[in-house]
Amino acid sequence: MQRYFVDGNRINNNNITIDGDDAKHIIKVMRSEIGDKVICVSPEGDNYITEIINFDKNQVKLTVVEQIQDDNEPTINITLYQGLTKADKFEWIIQKGTEIGITSFVPVEMKYSVAKWDASKGEKKLERWQKIAKEAAEQSHRSKVPAISSALTFPQLLKSVSKHSLTMLAYEKSEHSQGIFALLKQHPEIKDFAIIIGPEGGVSEQEKLQAVNAGVKLINLGPRILRTETAGIVAATGVLFYHQQLGES
């Protein structure tokens, strides 16, 4: 059954209205008809089986058949602070990160970032990223769409991570880094994590030192060097696996 996230102002008691691109998808791509059922998800993560009662080329009207318990959200929070990458790589990170269960994404402009944040184009870029996250959340049957923030500088990042219970930085060059499972075993009670991943050029020595001084823990992701778009997914998957969010071990 197809799944669509619906704005709160489009839900009125047992009646739901879908318009825009989602309406076109229901009508033109799925070729749905009156009486067909889809799952609608509210901003709060409530899931409803709904039935199409009317539609035109731009809008679909539905009525709620029943509310269901279909919460596939992890019980831990993971925020990925990703060094700015080339556009296609960042979009891939958002898509795959959403699929596995990352809670939120924050782009970070770092010393070796090839891509730079252009504030004049930032709003348009965020809209595209949010659309990618929404579609990935629908495809993977999540109950919430991950949040995506505007880009931070590295000093802003260091202030931001103080709100998380445990922040880790993937850094393969340091003898002081430890395996991700070894770190997690030291903090079994923690449920809110931040993961920092450098851009294509990696993390500078200065950034590493600043992070450590701010209380960030250094981790390595094994003996092989991973691409930036792979590293965040691997690190987040490790946290999810350790906390049995990918199925029981």
CATH number of the domain residue 212 falls in = 3.40.1280.10
pLDDT in the model for residue 248: 67
210-248 tens-digit pLDDT: 999 999 999 999 889 999 999 999 999 999 999 999 876
Within a domain: 143 = yes
- The answer, as to whether pTM is greater than 0.95, is no
201 and 180 together in one domain: yes
Question: Higher-confidence residue: 26 or 120?
Answer: 26
* CATH code of 21's domain: 2.40.240.20
Q: Are strands 59-68 and 152-153 parallel, antiparallel or unpaired?
A: unpaired
Lowest mean pLDDT across 105-114, 167-176, 208-217: 167-176
Count of Cβ atoms closer than 10 Å to residue 245 Cβ: 19
Within a domain: 248 = no
pLDDT in the model for residue 172: 82
Q: Which domain holds residue 55?
A: 3-68
Q: Distance between CA 216 and CA 162 in Å, rounded?
A: 9
15-24 tens-digit pLDDT: 999 999 999 9
Q: How confident is the model at residue 110 (pLDDT cuts 50, 70, 90)?
A: very high
In the predicted model, is pLDDT for residue 249 greater than 70?
Answer: no
125-168 tens-digit pLDDT: 999 999 999 999 999 999 999 999 999 999 999 999 999 999 99
53 and 136 together in one domain: no
Which of helix, strand or coil describes residue 170? strand
8 Å CB contact between 105 and 137: no
